[in-house]
């Protein structure tokens, strides 16, 4: 098995091991939540990196076994742990940052969107306290300048919506093929950049 296929097998094995576990106080499992988020990204025509970021956005809850817990509502700094895990696996910085930003997007929307906090689930409200609370105006202005801000905010909306009960899990083979294609494309791009001869 080549390296990229091995990486995909290891990453998706996490969902096979932990995917059926309760999604931190929500009415769906981890895998149901991830699947619904990815399906929403696909339905809106987003590229594969965004689709996979939507699927992997909470991988930080299951990729480490020794992290600090948010009072029974998942892993502290799961967004950073998940992003770093994906970077180590070889995925792009853009995808890793989208995973990292889904918590920043929650903090931003809590500041900017009237009624957003009230629409959050009880679990999301509880975890907000561990995640830095509502953004400051200065933080929000800086976040708005980031090229990934718009996609991050959209991803946050999928995160909130992806909690419907009794929705079948999508074919994970589709996501595995997308992930393998991204890893292979990244490898090819790196090889080509090394082979460029300066004139």
150-160 pLDDT per residue, tens: 999 999 999 88
* DSSP class of 197: P
**CA atoms within a 13 Å half-sphere pointing along the CA-CB vector of 23:** 25
179-192 pLDDT per residue, tens: 999 998 866 655 55
Q: How far is CA 127 from each of CA 1, 58, 112, 116, 175, rounded to the nearest angstrom?
A: 39, 13, 18, 15, 28
Average pLDDT over residues 126-145: 92
Return the sign of the alpha-carbon dihedral for residues 179, 184, 185, 190.
Answer: positive
- pTM comes to 0.85
Please tell me whether residue 31 adopts helix, strand or coil conformation: helix
Q: What confidence score (pLDDT) does residue 153 get?
A: 96
Write phi, then psi, for 75 (nearest 5 degrees): -95, 135
Query: For residue 63, which of 104, 28, 91 has the smallest C-alpha distance?
Result: 91
Beta bridge partners of 75: 69
Distance CA 83, CA 98 (A): 8
Mean pLDDT score of the chain: 86
Domains of the chain listed by start with CATH number: 3-184 (1.10.3210.10)
Q: What confidence score (pLDDT) does residue 93 get?
A: 96
Q: Which residues are within 8 A (CB) of 150 and not within 5 positions of it... i.e. 6 or more apart?
A: none
Work out the burial of residue 63: count CB atoms within 10 Å of its CB; fewer than 13 is exposed, 13-18 middle, 19 or more buried: buried
């Amino acid at each position: 098995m080549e390296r990229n296929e091995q990486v995909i097998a290891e990453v998706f094995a996490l969902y096979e091991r932990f995917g059926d576990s309760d999604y931190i106080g929500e009415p769906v499992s981890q895998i149901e939540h991830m699947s619904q988020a990815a399906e929403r990204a696909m339905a809106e025509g987003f590229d594969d990196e965004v689709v996979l970021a939507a699927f992997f956005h909470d991988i930080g809850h299951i990729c480490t076994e020794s992290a600090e817990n948010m009072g029974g509502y998942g892993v502290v700094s799961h967004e950073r742990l998940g992003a770093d895990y994906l970077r180590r696996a070889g995925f792009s910085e853009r995808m890793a940052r989208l995973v990292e930003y889904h918590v920043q997007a929650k903090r931003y929307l809590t500041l900017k969107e009237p009624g957003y906090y009230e629409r959050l689930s009880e679990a999301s409200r509880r975890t907000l306290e561990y995640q830095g609370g509502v953004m400051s105006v200065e933080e929000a202005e800086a976040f708005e300048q980031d090229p990934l801000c718009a996609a991050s905010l959209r991803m946050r909306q999928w995160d909130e919506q992806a909690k419907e009960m009794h929705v079948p899990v999508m074919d994970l083979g589709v996501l595995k093929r997308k992930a393998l294609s991204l890893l292979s494309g990244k490898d090819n791009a790196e090889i080509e950049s090394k082979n460029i001869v300066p004139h």
